[in-house]
Structure 1
Amino acid sequence: MHYFETTTLPADLSEFSEIIDVRTPAEFAIDHIPGAINLPVLSNEERISVGTLHKSSAFEARKLGAGLVSANAAKHLSEYFLKKDLSYSPLLYCWRGGMRSRSLTHILSSVGWRAQLLNGGYSAFRKWMVSDLENQFEHSDLKLIVLSGLTGVGKTRLLHSLEEQGAQVLDLEGMANHKGSLLGTPHTGAQPSQKFFESSLWHQMSKFDPAKLVYTEAESNKIGKLHCPPSLWKKLSESPVIEIELPLLERTKLLSEEYPHFCNDPASLSDLLNVLRRIRGNALVDTWQKQIKEQHWEIFLTSILQDHYDLSYRKPGDEKSIYSSPIASVQVHSISADSYLSAATELIELEL
């Protein structure tokens, strides 16, 4: 018997003081409900110990687990929960709403807080979220506007400028922590897991007003190691496309600004370029390597744009592109913030 309330999805998660994920840090890192905090009642090592013992004796494993959960719950009570007042009302979950979350929820309820348990735990959230995300792309009135253009035109910068002016923006590369190209591997941090990418995508989508346009960037099916969910990929292929243009010299300047770490670590850049020998040939890659070694950055960046990225670009409307032909084009004149703000204004004023 339990002495606390339970919550079943879909629910208004904003009604809770906070959402608490009591799973291990390793489980939390793979994925969690957006906005949740991690207060583990078993550490990574403790969960492994309990699981190993369970193979030989479920009873002994439950005894060990109960003691560890109690000790960690006591620590959280004396530290994290110490200053919470009587109005505090958290929602707790573990993997399936089992012993870990039930134990801490019961303790918090016994203190007097209105703690609630998420029925089915993270597993239930994941199943519901995937279905809801698919519904948002396939069965809603959502209208995406896709920004396309050659590498280096600053599509992400334009998205940020649109957001500054109050437009709804879906920054897929930001959520994926990858710029979606050979040089796009994150310089700081790693890409999230596929599951966390999808949870972040769902969280962002749930904030949008479906009656208003949502601007996003044309992407490949993969952004680094991550895949676009099939429903998103289909929605992108069906959405209107705006072609973004920027002069070559300005594109070169933009790459120089956005990839400064390669100038500081030319060896890593040289290693990346070797991957292109198969499609661009040894002679061109050797030329690039020489330009990098001699720090002829402007010459190198111009060439990598013209002789690699521009040749790889699948123009919307071409038979090899999933995207339809552009319905309009917007010219950005320079990489200045004012130029992108001006282009964003032009975009917003288009009759779409």
Structure 2
Amino acid sequence: LLVSLDQAGDFDEIIDVRTPLEFAEDHIPGALNAPVLSNEERVLVGTTYKQVSPFEGTRIGAALVARNIAHHLETTFADRPRNWRPLIYCWRGGKRSGSVTTLFNMIGWPARQLNGGYKSYRRATLDTLDSLPKRFNYIALVGPTGSGKTRLLEALNRAGAQTLDLEALAAHRGSLLGAWAGIAQPSQKRFDTLLVSALRTFDPLRPVFVE
């Protein structure tokens, strides 16, 4: 039931069963978060596993996961059709995604588990960052703070040029103005994902404008 990351496009939906905190830090683009353990439940299971026994931690974890999967079946996935084909992943393709994949297949959905989980996706993202940016020719907009570089970049984008707005991806102005009010900055992992997603939309035959 294991598939590799390059087969992700063959599925109707990608389901991330990690905790909301893990999902917020970074996730595969387009993935839906359906956690089988809450943030607090994961801490409880991990603490019990280490401080009491692996058996007790696994027993508690199994009960929580089963309860949460049941809830998702009654709510999140209640309207999915008979031939729905989801790809499931967790942190490293272990018990969390394995349990969901097994149960989905018992129901009749041809679900598959991402081999290596999010960790395999993260490795692929870093590998892509080593090679993909080198495919493009960049035109850098330079000048002192307040000279209108961002406004020019936005105008170029409206005119149809390929623009890479690193400040927007990072939710942070590269000047004294600092972070954008009311907008949380992404983690480094999330920034890397957003950067790769942006680069994949570009045509290597056309220049990319960047501030």
TM over 0.5, shorter chain: yes
Equivalent AA in structure 1 for residue 151 of structure 2: R
Q: Which has the higher contact order (CA 8 A, sep 6+)?
A: 2
Offset, 1:135: 0.9
Preserved contact between residue 87 and residue 111 of structure 2 (Cα < 8 Å): yes
Structure 1 residues 81, 200: CA separation in 2 closer, same or farther (over 3 Å shift)?
Answer: same
Match of 1:19, SS state, is strand
- The residue number in structure 1 matching 2:120 is 124
Q: What TM-score does the superposition give when structure 1 sets the normalisation length?
A: 0.57
Match of 2:69, SS state, is helix
Q: Distance in 2 between matches of 1:148 and 1:67?
A: 57
Match of 1:183, SS state, is coil
Offset, 1:12: 5.1
Matched, 1:33 2:46: no
Equivalent AA in structure 1 for residue 177 of structure 2: L
Residues 217-240 of structure 1 deviation map (CA, whole Å, 9 limit, x = unaligned): 1xxxxxxxxxxxxxxxxxxxxxxx
Offset, 1:197: 0.7
Matched, 1:91 2:80: no
Offset, 1:163: 2.2
Question: What does 1:249-288 align with in structure 2 at a 5 Å threshold?
Answer: none
Q: Distance in 2 between matches of 1:171 and 1:119?
A: 33
CA RMSD after TM alignment: 1.5
Match of 2:177, SS state, is helix
Residues 179-229 of structure 1 deviation map (CA, whole Å, 9 limit, x = unaligned): 111222221122111111111111111222222221111xxxxxxxxxxxx
Offset, 1:115: 1.6
Pick from 99, 103, 106 the counterpart of residue 107 of structure 1.
103
Q: Which stretches in structure 1 are left out of the alignment for 5+ residues?
A: 218-352
Question: What does 1:1-352 align with in structure 2 at a 5 Å threshold?
Answer: 5-9=1-5, 11=6, 13-55=8-50, 56-138=52-134, 141-217=135-211
Equivalent AA in structure 2 for residue 61 of structure 1: G
Offset, 1:60: 1.2
Which of the two has higher C-alpha Rg?
1
Residues 142-170 of structure 1 deviation map (CA, whole Å, 9 limit, x = unaligned): 11111112222322222222222322221
Q: What TM-score does the superposition give when structure 2 sets the normalisation length?
A: 0.93
Structure 1 residues 149, 15: CA separation in 2 closer, same or farther (over 3 Å shift)?
Answer: farther
Offset, 1:172: 0.4
Q: Which stretches in structure 2 are left out of the alignment for 5+ residues?
A: none
Q: Distance in 2 between matches of 1:162 and 1:125?
A: 32
Q: Percent identity?
A: 50
Q: Distance in 2 between matches of 1:158 and 1:84?
A: 45
Work out the number of aligned pairs and report it: 210
Offset, 1:87: 3.3
